[in-house]
Amino acid sequence: MAAAPLRIIQWSTGHVGLHALRAILDNPSLELVGVWVHSEEKAGRDAGELAGRDPVGVLATNDVDALLDLHPDVVCYTATADLRPQEAVDDICRILRSGANVVSSSLVQLLHPPTADASLTTPLAAACQEGGTSCWFNGIDPGFANDLLPLVLTGTSQRIRSVRVLEVLNYATYDQPTVLFDTMGFGQALDAQPMLLIPGTLEYAWGGAVNTIAAGLGLELDELKAVHERAAFDQPVEVAGRTIEPGTQAGLRFEVQGWAHGRAVVIVEHVTRVHDDVAPDWPAQVGQGGYRILVDGEPSIVCDVHAMGEDGDINSGGLIVTATRLLNAAAAVVAAPPGLLSALDLPLATGRGLVVTT
């Protein structure tokens, strides 16, 4: 007999949340019981309508008490947290204390809770214990592309010298202006300091991915280091309704390195452009771009991964993976003992029940 569907609330309908909402409606193992929205304009609208589907009889709301009174098994929390981490922690703690488990893409700096910022993990862990619930943060990057996937590949190794995971993408169709221009610094002067390049920020954001790989390999790191370089372009580029002028940042490359034995052993690297011709000496993308895992060892392994949406866009494909990575593991999170989880704590999540008949 098949298990009863998990009762789930989708918390936000933004870039990731909208894809999560659609994936919930398509997943027979999940039953949508509520949707939280920020804007008054969306409140009261049918979740199916918000997802571009037929009505499903679930109305969106911004009444948190009413949602938690539904006693869901799990909440998929995808509200943005880049500029409001403490508010997101407060939201999630409230959900956890109510008795609902949480899967979230919002605080991916908590990908590896044992090495994450204690000011964030301590209240979340306490809320898990109070509510008897579990909480897991993941996505595609930081997430699937640089925790589970590289570790699976290393399971075929005889010996390993290093593991490097690259994201190589053109962000020209990434419709998140705040992230592109304010957080990452595109369109800014090359000597400006966007939020992402404030010292310590890269390690804070991607250190969890590096530490998860290291922990999966049984490797004790001595330190994390971050390096970056920026590139301009000689032509204007239109991105997300704005013009990136010649001479300003049109490319960003960075590495977060986990050091052991006097060398970088685990490296997460991003190569990000807004035009394919920016910085031609940097690693080139394959097709529309994606993720490349390089295991230097015996044997040496190269794996390229591309996730493309039905609209033909690699960026929408990435947003879908961010959402479905959470949802397909929701049952395992619900079944886990109370506490904060990493990918190392969960069984393999597959697309069980998702094969379509046509």
Is pLDDT of 1 > 70? no
Each residue's pLDDT tens digit, 165-205: 999 999 988 778 888 999 999 999 999 999 999 999 999 99
Each residue's pLDDT tens digit, 305-326: 999 999 888 888 999 999 999 9
Q: What is the pLDDT of residue 77?
A: 98
Is pLDDT of 2 > 80? no
CATH number for region 144-306: 3.30.360
Each residue's pLDDT tens digit, 69-109: 999 999 999 998 888 999 999 999 999 999 999 999 999 99
Give the pTM: 0.94
What is the fold, at CATH topology level, of the domain defined by 6-139+319-345? Rossmann fold (3.40.50)
Looking at every residue in the chain, the average pLDDT score rounds to 95
Tokens at 85, concatenated: 């981490």
What are the extents of the domains in the chain? Answer: 6-139+319-345, 144-306
